[in-house]
Amino acid sequence: MTSTPSSHLAPLHLAVALDGAGWHPAAWREPHSRPSELFSASYWTDVVTTAERGLLDFVTIEDSLSVPANPLEPVDDAVDRVRARLDAHLVAARLAPITSNIGLIPTITTIHTEPFHVSKAVATLDYTSRGRAGWQVKVSASESEAAQFGRRDIPALTDADRQSIVSGVLPDFVRDLFDEAAEAADVIRRLWDSWEDGAEIRDVEQRRFIDRDKLHYIDFEGKYLSVRGPSVTPRPPQGHPVVTALAHQRVAYELAARTADLVFVTPFDDEQVTAILGEVRAAEEHVQRTGEPLRVFTDIVVFFDTPEETGKERLARLDAQAGAEYRSDALTFTGSAAELADLLLRWQQLGIEGFRLRPGVLVDDLDAIAGELVPELQRRSVFRTEYPQTNLRGLLGLPIDVPNRYAAGTPAA
């Protein structure tokens, strides 16, 4: 395949979404997948250091409050796939001191998790990673996840509800959950700002560890939440760690536009890339977003060619093992690193700023990303050859000096 001309393109951003043994339900059965180590620190250390060796911008770590399952399929009791997870934030915390440059973005569900706890956890991760933390906002509309906490009732989705969601028409209670998630994210950002930079003065002689005038009650009263503040954790090193969200339709694009720095989208072809970019910008206008525009990353599930099998043959074999054709909300790519590079550069020309790859088989396909795709992109002069000395915000081209809304002299939002 002919390479796409790239001399005029800006360097692209590349990330990886980590989920157990990989995104295919049969991935754990592959020879290199280490199923006995999936819940060990060494496994996660190895995969993230592989991603860092490939100079990737960040990794996201999947999480949920119920047994992992494909959201496109009915809930079942199948035991032929990985049906367990570690806590994504705690995994990221373990990885922070043993990595140096790569961003760490755990998924944390907003609906059943107190904003105060999320703000404190992500701020702590930003400290332990020295400015490389982020957070993927996740909305839960699951009856089973609500039942894990017993504090609220969320109705079970009917088949009609699922069909309407796929077509872009959400039940009212689901829309309310997205509004609640946006309010929670606003509270979290306010809590990060509740300590001004320099609030810790550590004056031993005067016996003053903090400047109390630089701590602020946020006194937030919203439709869903009431939070006084301040946080008990000083403002994170990045000011605001990077906030991300996965979005498939209008209400989720609007959530991202209200709360996030970066949105993950899922087009299947060039036409959808253009359409989705238009929807994202329309969502920004609808919610009257100010400041930086959303960075738009595309999710792609990847199955690379190997010397023994093509990516298509690998996927077919995994499907046969699983007993069903693999289905995903994102494009499923099979082929060589050069062919994927062609696709990424074509979509970059259409306006996509970065890509989050979902390895079909984590160990094997992540090795191919770091060892084959990245060198291919470097040969085309569209990917870095070393990490710059900056934090995650700087790595992604986001402003690194985030104003504190409570500091004297900060313009009103």
Distances (CA, A) of 351 to 48, 128, 172, 235, 257: 28, 34, 33, 33, 17
2 lies in some domain = no
Give the single-character DSSP code of 71.
Answer: T
Question: Per-residue confidence of the chain (413 residues) as pLDDT tens digits?
Answer: 444 444 466 789 999 999 999 999 999 999 999 999 999 999 999 999 999 999 999 999 999 887 766 554 556 677 777 878 899 999 999 999 999 999 999 999 988 889 999 999 999 999 999 999 999 999 987 777 877 787 788 887 777 777 777 777 788 888 999 999 999 999 999 999 999 998 888 878 878 788 888 999 999 999 999 999 999 999 999 999 999 999 999 999 999 999 999 999 999 999 999 999 999 999 999 999 999 999 999 999 999 999 999 999 999 999 999 999 999 999 999 999 999 999 999 999 999 999 999 999 999 999 999 999 999 999 999 999 999 999 999 999 999 999 999 997 665 44
* 229: in domain: no
Q: What are phi and psi for residue 355, nearest 5 degrees?
A: -140, 135
Residue 208 lies in a domain: no
Host domain of residue 341: 13-148+241-395
Domain membership of residue 291 (yes or no) is: yes
Residues 6+ apart with CB under 8 A from 114: none
Q: Let me know if residue 273 belongs to a domain.
A: yes
- 145-195 pLDDT, tens digit per residue, is 877 787 788 887 777 777 777 777 788 888 999 999 999 999 999 999 999
Residue at token pair 């049969």: 26
According to the annotation, is 46 in a ligand binding site? no
What is the model's pLDDT at position 3?
45
Q: Measured between alpha carbons, how far is 366 from 45 in angstroms, rounded to an integer? A: 13
Split into its structural domains, the chain has a count of 1
User: Cα 234 to chain center, whole Å?
Assistant: 24
pLDDT of residue 121: 97
Question: Do the domain assignments include residue 153?
Answer: no
* Residue 141 tokens, joined: 């509309």
Give the pTM.
Answer: 0.93
Examine residue 74 and state whether it is found in any structural domain, yes or no. yes
401 annotated as a binding-site residue: no
pLDDT at 316: 98
Handedness of CA 175, 180, 183, 188 (dihedral sign): negative
Question: The CATH number of the domain where 17 resides is what?
Answer: 3.20.20.30
Asked if residue 230 has a cis previous peptide bond (ω within 30° of 0), the answer is: yes
Q: Answer yes or no: is 57 within a domain.
A: yes
